[in-house]
Amino acid sequence: MMDLARITRSRVFRSLVRHGYPDSNRNRALAVFSNFFLHVHPVKVRLRAIRFTRTFYLGGLSLAAFFLLVVSGLMLMFYYHPSVPRAYEDMKDLEFVVSSGVFLRNLHRWSAHAMVALVFLHMTRVFFAGAYRPPREFNWVIGVLLFVLTVLLSYTGYLLPWDQLAFWAVTVGANMANAVPALGPYAKFLLLGGTTINENALIRFYVLHCMLLPMLLLVGIAVHLWRVRKDGGIYLPPPGEGENP
Amino acid sequence: MSATRFAAEPGEDARAVPVRLLVVQEEERPAVDASAEPQVMTFPHLLIRELCAFLALSLLLVVLSLLFDGPLEEIANPEKTPNPAKAPWYFLGLQELLHYYPPLISGVILPTLVIFSLVVVPYAHVNVTRAPFAAGSPAERRRKLGWLWLATAALTLVFLFTGAHAVWPVIGPLWFCALLATVPFLSDAKRGVIGLLARRSLPFWVYFWFLLVATALTLVGVFFRGPGWAFTLPWRDGVYH
Ligand code: HEM
């Protein structure tokens, strides 16, 4: 205890964290308030708001899945070349050459499935709670955008292994884009960088999947969480009133 | 929406333009909760919960990744079309729709309509209070019940006859929801299951229908479709993917 107090009082520690050990409510408040990552939270929260059954933590779990995807995705990027047939060979290397390569790929894949499900369930939870109503209507719209981005991320990622599964799943989707009246063939050409799914499509999907879409999603999530705060925290029915779904 | 009763613009530099103004604006801002309900410190109460949730999800996904390997088939071959060619499960609802409607309707119009509906949900000021659908005077209730079944009948006809096949994964949930929503019109019970149904609003029923349709389409696409997108039974023919 003595040493801990010495450390938290040291000049180096104080330059990093400007408050003492969080053993008083003042320091606990400062721990949240003066930390860049924690200050999305208010210093105090209503007990009802943090109950598991209120949100099932689905928004937070969506974020957690996204975090796991970014970490495992970055590691996959160290091994992956977006070219034909190298992309497929890299999958085989992950399987037979890279230590824990299969695990890495599995983690990224299952996290992606989990994220799609969690985001959809989160949307459903928010709807049934009636939390989309004013003043939260715009945050709901941002949410819909996040859902679309999540689906697009999983769609673009699906092509990257360049196996039969990838190729034909993406074919189904590209043909849907083709069906847009008048603009369809242009939309498909823009998406694939050609009229068929080939190496050009792979590099486009790679850039969308690893750069553009994740960055848009990150910014979208930041705005979304900021709005949760600005809209007065998560929605709770007025005390004493029941739910009114 | 809300008018500003009195607004004034303060100068940029308070020292150069020393004016103090009282601004009364009827701006709608969510109030910071002023009620006397129980509060706790975010550190540690919320943070520990978030950490647990994160660790639980991570653990689950790590275990899944150790136990189950993701699929990897042969290298992509444009000459060799697999049959069936299935997308990942979360797209199979859409792919199932392709079975009934041409791509323009199933792949473009219907998804756009769903996204559009989701976006306008909070702005269409229909029933913002989410009053129970079955509430109101006897005359109102009769009218609502009439509309409910008129809409159900119309939608049933649409989904029976406009597709290449009758779209049962849409019609089934429609009737299920309509029947459930009708129960409170037949009984005045305030408690139990009927009470639970009686408190549901129209938005609830619409979203519930959407949820069931999405689930039904996805389940059919994942488990009950085989070569040529023909209907199969998973316990007889296995699951195609
Ligand atoms: C990447 C996807 C998303 C992330 C990471 C995310 C994150 C969160 C978090 C952490 C919260 C705090 C409360 C909670 O956990 O429920 C929240 C609330 C909220 N989210 Fe999301 N969200 C996402 C997608 C969506 C979607 C798809 C919608 C709806 C279409 C949505 C609408 C909302 C609304 C309206 C709230 C306020 C809820 C309330 O006041 O009770 N979000 N979100």
Residue B8 confidence (pLDDT): 67
Whole-angstrom Cα distance, residue B241 to residue B238?
Answer: 10
Task: Write down the domain spans for chain A.
Answer: 56-230
Residue A110 confidence (pLDDT): 98
Which of A38, A42, A181 is opposite residue B104, by nearest beta carbon?
A: A181
| Protein residue closest via CA to atom 14 of ligand 1 | A59
Residue A242 confidence (pLDDT): 65
Q: Inter-chain contact A167–B98, Cβ cutoff 8 Å? A: no
Q: What is the DSSP letter of A237?
A: P
Tell me what the pLDDT averaged over chain B comes to: 89
A123 membership: H or E segment, kind and range: helix A101-129
Interface of A with B in 12-41 (CB under 8 A): 22, 25, 28-29, 31-32, 38, 41
Residue B194 confidence (pLDDT): 93
User: What residues of chain B lie within 8 A of the CB of A25, using their CB?
Assistant: 41
User: What residues of chain A lie within 8 A of the CB of B46, using their CB?
Assistant: 41, 45, 50
A172 and chain B: CB distance < 8 Å anywhere? yes
Say if B237 falls within a structural domain: no
Residue B1 confidence (pLDDT): 42
CA B217 to centroid of ligand 1, rounded, Å: 25
Residue A9 confidence (pLDDT): 85
Q: Inter-chain contact B73–A22, Cβ cutoff 8 Å? A: no
Contact A142, A224 (CB under 8 A): yes
SS3 for chain B is CCCCCECCCCCCCCCCCCCCCCCECCCCCCCCCCCCCCEEEHHHHHHHHHHHHHHHHHHHHHHHHHHCCCCCCCECCCCCCCCCCCCCHHHHHHHHHHCCCCHHHHHHHHHHHHHHHHHHCCCCCCCCCCCECCCCCHHHHHHHHHHHHHHHHHHHHHHHHCCCCCCHHHHHHHHHHHHHHHHHHHCCCCCHHHHHHHCCEHHHHHHHHHHHHHHHHHHHHHHCECHHHCECCHHHHCCCC
Residues whose beta carbon lies within 6 Å of some atom of ligand 1: A 55, 57-60, 62-63, 66, 119, 122-123, 126, 129, 131-132, 136, 139-140, 143-144, 146-147, 150, 221, 224-225, 228, 234-235
The model carries a pTM of: 0.93
Cis peptide upstream of residue B84 (ω within 30 degrees of 0): yes
Map residue A54 onto helix, strand or coil: helix
CA A129 to centroid of ligand 1, rounded, Å: 12
Contact A166, B76 (CB under 8 A): yes
- Residue to mutate among A133, A191, A202, with most B CBs inside 10 A, is A133
Say if B101 falls within a structural domain: yes
- Residue to mutate among B28, B46, B58, with most A CBs inside 10 A, is B46
Whole-angstrom Cα distance, residue A69 to residue A184?
Answer: 31
B129 burial type by CB count under 10 A (0-12 exposed, 13-18 middle, 19+ buried): exposed
Say if B28 falls within a structural domain: no
Residue B121 confidence (pLDDT): 86
Say if B62 falls within a structural domain: no
CA A127 to centroid of ligand 1, rounded, Å: 10
Say if B72 falls within a structural domain: no
Residue B200 confidence (pLDDT): 92
Say if B217 falls within a structural domain: yes
Residues of chain B with pLDDT under 50: 1-2
pLDDT along chain A (245 residues), means of 10: 79 89 91 92 93 96 98 98 96 96 98 98 95 92 98 97 95 89 92 94 98 98 96 86 61
State the residue range of the domain holding B172.
89-231
May I ask the CATH architecture of the domain A56-230? Up-down Bundle (1.20)
Whole-angstrom Cα distance, residue B92 to residue B223?
Answer: 10
Map residue A25 onto helix, strand or coil: helix
